[in-house]
Amino acid sequence: MIAAAFFDLDRTLMAGSSGLHWARAARSNGLVSRRKMAAYAWKNVVFRLRGSTDEETDAVRAEVAGMLEGVRVRDLQRLAPKVLAGVLPRLYPQMLAVAYEHQDAGRPVYIVTAASQDLASVIAQIVGFDGAIGARYEVVDGLYTGKDAGIFTYRDGKPLAMRELAAEKGIDLEASWAYSDSESDMPMLRAVGHPVAVNPDPDLARVAREEGWEILRFEQLGRRLKAFGAVGAAALVGGAGGAANRSRIARRAPQPAPGWSTRLRRK
């Protein structure tokens, strides 16, 4: 048997959510309204800062399934270039380097994501991974029905799909690695012998510290916002301090004697 490495996609292999770029492409083809697009953009910012919850994931899953109902498979396949144009620049070079180190050591690497199987497979092929596990949706007569087809690859669904792949490929999960950012992927991380937390949300970061897992951090948005906030606060403090100093200087400066200006005018 062989060891392998499994990588979550959003906030792990890439900054932010692949779903945002799918929504942008769908918006350009009239599948997503402007209001929903604005909501997706805001959710992406929140996701980059703190991850997602089960409730949010279920809501997005239901919304995507509803959008897919009656849509031709071919039409979604044609969105791929636009989606990839947004996703590929967001990939973390550091994580690709980690993945390639696994491959060079003889371990196959796979994407494991709640994003669609089609998207995950295309990304895996482009970056040179050995395969991908993603969410599958039912297709009848070339149209999506809006129903799931198989395991939904989220939370407990990820290790189930990983075990299926392991049985097929002869992979020893106990000797394998898994990388993810979210507490929701604890089942995925615990399914392998070498779990790694990447840009972890607070709950995962706590568990990783307690368990002594490796932690990698590449996400910059939170740090930039903190830095921006610090700079803004410093500017406010500096401005307030400057005003206070000017006020103190004005109070300390010698004041002209009464009638001083009058005497000048008389001269």
Determine the Cα–Cα distance for residues 24 and 18; give it in Å rounded to an integer.
10
Q: Is 104 a catalytic residue?
A: no
- Cβ-Cβ contacts under 8 Å for 171 (sequence gap 6 or more): 1, 2, 3, 4, 108, 165
Q: Which of 8, 181, 185, 201 is catalytic?
A: 8
Q: Which of 10, 118, 185, 201 is catalytic?
A: 10
pTM over 0.85: no
CA atoms within 13 A on the CB side of 181: 24
| pLDDT at residue number 35 | 56
Over its C-alpha atoms, the chain yields an Rg (Å, rounded) of 27
| pLDDT at residue number 174 | 98
Q: Contact 99/7 with Cβ under 8 angstroms?
A: yes
Q: Is 203 a catalytic residue?
A: no
| pLDDT at residue number 185 | 94
| pLDDT at residue number 31 | 63
| pLDDT at residue number 257 | 39
In what helix (H) or strand (E) does residue 245 lie, and over which residues does it extend?
helix 221-252
Determine the Cα–Cα distance for residues 40 and 34; give it in Å rounded to an integer.
10
DSSP 91-152: B-HHHHHHHHHHHHTT--EEEEEEEEHHHHHHHHHHHT-SEEEEE-EEEETTEEEEEE-S--
| pLDDT at residue number 29 | 67
Of 5, 36, 23, nearest in space to 106 by CA: 5
DSSP 55-97: HHHHHHHHHHHHHHTT-BHHHHHTTHHHHHHHHGGGB-HHHHH
pLDDT tens track of the chain, all 267 residues?
A: 999 999 999 999 999 888 777 777 777 766 655 555 444 443 444 444 344 455 655 666 666 666 777 888 898 888 889 999 999 999 999 999 999 999 999 999 999 998 889 889 999 999 999 999 998 989 999 998 888 888 888 889 999 999 999 999 999 999 999 999 999 999 999 999 999 999 999 999 999 999 999 999 986 654 444 433 433 433 444 444 444 444 444 444 444 433 433 333 333
